[in-house]
Structure 1
Amino acid sequence: MNGTDDGRYVILTGEQDYHDFARVIEWQDDAILHWWTSDICNMINGTDGSSFHPLITKKEKVYIFSSDLCRSLYAIFERTVYVKGVTAFRFVLPPNLFANASVNPDNAGFCVPSGNCLGSGVLNVSICKQDAPIMMSSPHFYQGDQKYIDNIIGMHPTKEEHETYLDINPLTGILIRAAKRLQVNVHVQKIAAFSETGNARMLIFPVMYINESVLIDDESAKKLKSVLLLTSLLTAVPFVIMAFGVLLGIIFIIVACSQHGRPQDELLTTVMWEGSVFSLSFI
């Protein structure tokens, strides 16, 4: 699509809950999808993939709504990476996201018509593409059934070249680096009315694959590192104050114990003098 309007999005600002920052709640004036055969598959979850909420943890799933795939996706934490000196959590699409319904029962709703399930790694999006026989997958059928790979000469799926991933700074939720990799396939089959298709094999035939990548520029990375450094310093201030308070408390206890057993007049004079110094220092 070149300059095609993807429809109107309604997203949240995160003012009420920071977890809702940039979360899509409506697309094309609707809060749910109507293509799939289950409520869970028709849900619109997550952001559009360009930004995420701050304070992301390794244990959570990062949800994304993809209009290209006509469904919501999620990614899970894989490892910590460093991009131009900025720390990022890498999230990747898990294998069971596009698994067959026998492997992942939640995907049964993506079998259209109902019960007509493809193998793992392939999604039939014809229902949302004007009934064109379009099947989506990862490039070279990465994480797909071996039969799709074997049917096409030249398919060599690799994690490094064909995996979709997101590198997100966990503190700010800013996307540092990402690669969105999709393959467009067509469903080839015999048509009884056309003798020319008599020898055609029934298979999922790849047409092209897309690699949409993004990487933070040097100037933005420098600004982000400055913000992260300032945040780290501000975060450390309360701990410094607490440590200083504990140190003063220990000094006071030592001084008080050292005065034990002195004559009353000397003790009173010393405690008053040292108490004044302590109060002045504390203020």
Structure 2
Amino acid sequence: SVYLDYDGMVTHGRIPSYRFVIPSTVYNPFLPENKGFCSRETPRYFSNDIQPEGCLPAGMFDIGRTKIGSPHIYLSGVHFYQSPPQIYQNFTGFRHPDNSDATYIDIEPYTGVVVSAFGASQINIGMISGNS
């Protein structure tokens, strides 16, 4: 369920191109159309204003839920791109995400040829405190 939105014109050399990006709405767990990515088994890592009940925070997908044992493996943008700042601020060595972390496809408008594309993801392992 990933879709792209038109983001504007860019130029590669002298070739004008349409840039398409993944909008932040794709990653927003507060939107009704994204409730299918939520699960009763999703652990709580953050408060309700960042992480709705049964969902991960914005910018993250649970990719372990379909595996045996449902390991806490989450896919996100690089440096938690399109996630709330409270996410990446919890980790040492992560910089503030910016548009250089965005996935995009640049398409020449007359032929439909892909002129440029970029995509990067980050794999995250969810850790839960045990009884001590």
Q: TM-score range by the shorter chain?
A: 0.7 to 0.9
Aligned length: 120
2:73 & 2:128 partners in 1: Cα distance? 13
Q: Aligned partners of 1:189, 1:140: CA distance in 2, in Å? A: 21
TM-score, normalised to structure 2, is 0.80
Instruction: Within 5 Å, give how 1:171-210 maps onto structure 2.
Output: 171-192=110-131, 198=132
1:169 aligns with 2:98: no
Change in Cα spacing, 1:129 to 1:88, as seen in structure 2 (3 Å) is farther
Residue pair 1:112, 1:124 contacting (<8 A) in 2 also: no
8 Å contact kept, 2:74–2:126 = yes
Q: Equivalents in 1 of 2:11, 2:67: separation in Å?
A: 38
2:40 aligned with 1:113 = yes
Q: Which runs of structure 2 are paired with 1:217-236 in the superposition (5 Å)?
A: none
Q: Which whole-Å CA distance do the structure 1 matches of 2:99 and 2:126 have between them? A: 27
1:157–1:181 Cα change, 3 Å: farther
Which structure dedicates a bigger proportion of its chain to helix?
1
- Residue 94 of structure 1 aligns with which residue? 23
Report if aligned partners of 1:140, 1:157 keep a CA contact under 8 Å in 2. yes
Runs of 5+ consecutive residues of structure 2 not aligned to the other structure: 42-52
Q: Structure 2 vs 1, CA of residues 132 and 179 (structure 1 numbering), >3 Å: closer, same or farther?
A: same
1:132 counterpart (71, 74, 86): 71
Q: Normalising by structure 1, what TM-score? A: 0.40
Deviation at 1:129, TM superposition (A): 4.0
% identical aligned pairs: 28
Q: 2: distance between equivalents of 1:184 and 1:74?
A: 20
Deviation at 1:158, TM superposition (A): 3.1
Q: Which has the larger radius of gyration?
A: 1
Which consecutive segments of 4 or more residues in structure 1 shift more than 4 A? none
Whether contact under 8 Å (1:139, 1:181) holds in the other structure is yes
SS in 2 for 1:177: strand
RMSD between superposed Cα atoms in Å: 1.8
**Cα distance between partner residues in 2 of 1:159 and 1:146:** 11
